[in-house]
Amino acid sequence: MAQNNTHRLPGRAQLPTQRAARGLGGAAVLGTVVLGSAFVGGSAQAAPAAPAAPAASAPAAQTAPAAPTAAAPSAVLDSSQKLRWGSRGGAVQDLQSALNDHGANLAVDGVFGPRTNSAVKDYQSSNDLLVDGVVGPETRGALNGSGVSTGGASAPASSSSSGSSSIVDAARSALGSPYSWGGSSLGGMDCSGLVNFAYQAAGIDLPRSSGQIANGGTQISQSQAQPGDIVAWPGHVAIYAGNGQVIDASGSKQRVVERGIWGNPSFVSYR
């Protein structure tokens, strides 16, 4: 009967500390020391990392508040151009906008007509200005908020004289032109057409009808009248040529003539 050999082969004796033990999850461990990692439920779990310190948020950049700027006026009127009934263009639009800022209710259309003329006179009256409907240095300066306008140099007397000469010379160049109702050229013109023709030579726009011309400028006395000013009768206007003479498109003579003043006309200046 065979007997079990209870002896170990020589050289194969094992120390107790070398005896392999099975750890959790089947991993081999030496004794009770686990090498390199801890085992939980069979899976190696890395030690949780320490939470990172929150980054300090940079303070928002602080900017100094912008200094308030003064509001610019809605319209600044040109400091050298006179505006009156019949004027047109961008300068009249600026004027209408400025008048609207002071309570008027005008269409900003660039046409100096009866409504704009009335608004100018209302403004002049309420601001103790000469009520003539002409936007010159005083009225312009008041609208610009600076009193009398001094932004542009005053025209020298020679400039005024030159303008007067241009007006009279242009009127004289039309002498003999046929009278034509509604015309304003050398081919034919009526009284207001002649006045417009002469003033355009000096770069001045006027109203078209004789009544508008008479009412649109500044009323002056005969002693104040200078060559180039306008002489007006009911329904008729002429250019003052000086020395008691006028140049007009005469309906009775059917042509442009130069002749002496008659009756009791009024005198009107656009300068």
Residues 6+ apart with CB under 8 A from 224: 267, 269
Asked if the structure places residue 66 within a domain, the reply is no
Q: 263 and 169: one domain?
A: yes
Q: Is residue 27 part of a domain?
A: no
Q: What is the mean pLDDT of residues 51-56?
A: 52
Whether residues 169 and 226 fall in one domain = yes
- Over the chain, what is the mean pLDDT? 75
According to DSSP, the residues that pair with 237 across neighbouring strands are 232
| CATH value at residue 124 | 1.10.101.10
pTM confidence score: 0.48
Beta bridge partners of 22: 28
Q: Are residues 222 and 118 in the same domain?
A: no
Q: Quick count: other Cβ atoms within 10 Å of Cβ 19?
A: 9
Among residues 111, 128, 153, the one where a domain terminates is: 153
Q: Examine the fold and report which residue of 137, 153, 169 is the final residue of a domain before the chain moves on.
A: 153
Residue 62 amino acid letter: Q
246 lies in the same domain as 165: yes
**At how many degrees (to 10) do helices 90-101 and 114-126 cross?**
50
Angle at 220 between CA 214 and CA 224, to 5 degrees: 135
Q: 94 and 198: one domain? A: no
Residue 63 lies in a domain: no
Q: Within this chain, do residues 168 and 235 fall inside the same structural domain, yes or no?
A: yes
Q: How many CB atoms lie within 10 A of CB 217?
A: 24
Residue 178 CA from chain centroid, whole number: 46
pLDDT of residue 115: 86
Domain presence at residue 77: yes
As given in the structure block, the two tokens for residue 101 are 């800022």
Residue 158 has pLDDT above 80, yes or no: no
Are 165 and 261 part of one and the same domain?
A: yes
Flag whether 12 is in a domain.
no
In a domain, 164, yes or no: yes
Single out the residue in 153, 184, 210 at which a domain terminates: 153
Residue 4 has pLDDT above 90, yes or no: no
Residue 162's nearest CA partner among 125, 116, 203 is 203
Whether residue 204 has pLDDT greater than 70: yes
Highest mean pLDDT among 22-31, 44-53, 86-95, 241-250: 241-250
Task: Give how many domains the chain has, as a whole number.
Answer: 2
Per-residue pLDDT, 51: 55
Q: Are residues 185 and 237 in the same domain?
A: yes
pLDDT of 79 reads: 54
Q: Are residues 162 and 249 in the same domain?
A: yes
Among the ranges 5-19, 68-82, 87-101, 135-149, which has the highest mean pLDDT value?
87-101
Convert the pLDDT of each residue in 254-263 to its tens digit: 999 999 999 9
Please give the distance of CA 153 from its chain centroid, rounded to a whole number. 24
pLDDT the model gives residue 97 = 92
Q: Is 236 helix (H, G, I), strand (E, B) or coil?
A: strand
Q: Which amino acid is at 65?
A: P
Q: Are residues 99 and 133 in the same domain?
A: yes
Is 62 a domain residue? no
Average pLDDT score over residue span 38-60: 48
Residue with tokens 């081999």: 28
Q: Is the pLDDT of residue 224 over 90?
A: yes
Q: Would you say how long the chain is, in residues?
A: 271
Select the more confidently predicted residue: 113 or 200. 200
Domain presence at residue 246: yes
Task: For residue 160, give every residue at least 6 positions away whose Cβ sits within 8 Å of its Cβ, in sequence order, or none.
Answer: 271
Cα 83 from Cα 204, distance rounded (Å):
9
Among candidate residues 45, 17, 46, 13, the one with its CA nearest the CA of residue 32? 17
CATH number at residue 165: 3.90.1720.10
**Percent of the residues in the chain that have a pLDDT greater than 70, as a whole number:** 65
In this prediction, residues 148-167 reach a mean pLDDT of 54
Determine the pLDDT at residue 131: 79
pLDDT at 114: 79
Q: Are residues 149 and 161 in the same domain?
A: no
Of 22 and 201, the structure prediction assigns the larger pLDDT to 201
Query: Whole domain around residue 214: which residue ranges?
Result: 157-269
State whether 145 and 164 are in the same domain: no
Decide if pLDDT at 198 tops 80: yes
Q: Assess whether pLDDT exceeds 80 at residue 157.
A: no
